[in-house]
Structure 1
Amino acid sequence: MTNHFNDPGPAKGTIRSRLLAARRACAPELRARWSAEACATLLGWIGDADMVAAYASFGTEPDTGPLLAGLRERGVRVLLPILENDMDLSWGLYTGPDSLVRRNPPGGIRPSPIPEPSESLGADAVLSASWIVVPALAVSPSGMRMGRGGGSYDRVLARIEASGSVARPRVAALLYPGEMDVDVPVEPHDRPVDLAVAGESVRRWH
């Protein structure tokens, strides 16, 4: 995947569409290799953390399976998000694939494609994590994250900033090559990440 999106002019929706199309056009085996490389690289940065908040990937997102498995092998407590009715996220413990369920999404009819923990520890549980790994479609040269537009993770990152904790979670985004250093329009609710990993490449801002 190559970076053809460094034009700040287009609206976010246009940029998202192009990024998603590039992901779909990429060979599954190449996505799998890049995902494995990114997860291994991020595990090296996370080190011996006690608790990490992450997410269960779906569709063409970088596969977080190797990351979740690697964290559990180290004995790290893992939190995964639960989408609430107001589109905010609460968090529950991940103890393996059997600990996840597919819920009916807010206002939806069919079960969500994203598996979630069966029990919530609340929205503030993420504040106890050393790291939070967030999904992203792109990260800008200044570390600003572009998501899918739902705003759920922007609220989480705003909550972390508002906590005022000196030991706040470090925020990392998993990407594919070509999705780093993308110039994207920035809105007031957008929040930066501390680290972006794409394959074996890493960018650090804090």
Structure 2
Amino acid sequence: MRGDGAKMSLRARLLAARAGRITGTDQSVVTGTTQADSAATAARRILDLPEVAAARWVAAYASLPGEPETGRLLGQLRERGARVLLPSMRPDLDLDFREYTGSLIAGAFGTREPPLGAAVFDLGRADAIVVPALAADVHGGRLGRGGGSYDRALRRARPDALIVAIVHDNELVDRVPTEAHDVGVHVVVTPRATVRCGTVDRARDPY
């Protein structure tokens, strides 16, 4: 199957599973694990990354329903003194990044973003960038929703910026179909694993 066809098939399956998370019908959700538990553990894993702990500027995102929840992470980044940038969708589907100071408004496609008056900064300012994904693999492959917004934006990141994807445990897969324009990630975090891409060294369940 061509890369784009494989991506479409995997994307459709994962979007259906995330819809099941919202309605409570997704069978992959571990019984007894709450969204708050998973969010707390994933946030801790991200904050424990040395590059994030040292970062003065972190670009992240406000999660959509069904995605790994990021509200706790955003709050804890600010509590640590990091300045946080969140994406704002442009009409051409590229992204601006505005500073998050605690307030969010409705954005395009159901997203939430800082108010329009919030200061805009170049993504190249970020020391670490936390990105959404439908799936990711141990090689750094990342599957997005198909609009290409992050693939365009991440080309403006600093070469030394750490790029981190957050996914649910069952969305860390053996291989994500990729194409030449896809931008990979350096670390994948789930509630149960922290994966430095390109290795098979996983830090599982230390909390």
TM-score range normalised by the length of the shorter chain: 0.7 to 0.9
Once the 2 structures are TM-superposed, how far is the Cα of residue 186 of structure 1 from its aligned partner? Answer: 1.1
What secondary structure is seen at the aligned counterpart in 2 of 1:91? strand
In structure 2, stretches of 5+ residues that fail to align are 21-25, 199-207
Once the 2 structures are TM-superposed, how far is the Cα of residue 66 of structure 1 from its aligned partner? Answer: 1.0
Of the candidates 179, 192, 197, which is equivalent to residue 187 of structure 1?
Answer: 179
One-letter identity of the residue aligned with 1:22: A
Task: Tell me which of the two structures has the higher relative contact order, counting C-alpha pairs closer than 8 angstroms and 6 or more residues apart.
Answer: 1
One-letter identity of the residue aligned with 1:145: R
What secondary structure is seen at the aligned counterpart in 2 of 1:133? strand
TM-score normalized by the length of structure 1: 0.81
TM-score normalized by the length of structure 2: 0.80
Residues 137-192 of structure 1 show CA distances to partners (whole Å, capped at 9, x for unaligned) of 111231111011110001111222xxxx55x3210001111211332221111111
One-letter identity of the residue aligned with 1:196: V
Of the candidates 145, 153, 160, which is equivalent to residue 156 of structure 1?
Answer: 153
Distance 1:9 1:151 in 2: 13
Distance 2:16 2:101 in 1: 33
Once the 2 structures are TM-superposed, how far is the Cα of residue 56 of structure 1 from its aligned partner? Answer: 0.3
Equivalent residue number for residue 104 of structure 2: 100
Counterpart check, 1:69 vs 2:75: yes
Bigger mean CA deviation after superposition, 83-92 or 176-185 = 176-185
Q: Which consecutive aligned stretches of 4+ in structure 1 deviate over 4 angstroms post-superposition?
A: none
* Structure 1 residues 49 and 174: CA distance shift in structure 2, 3 A: same
Identity among equivalent pairs (%) = 42
Residues 14-62 of structure 1 show CA distances to partners (whole Å, capped at 9, x for unaligned) of 1112112233213795444222211111011111311100000011000
Counterpart check, 1:11 vs 2:3: no
Once the 2 structures are TM-superposed, how far is the Cα of residue 195 of structure 1 from its aligned partner? Answer: 0.5
Distance 2:130 2:11 in 1: 20
Once the 2 structures are TM-superposed, how far is the Cα of residue 67 of structure 1 from its aligned partner? Answer: 0.4
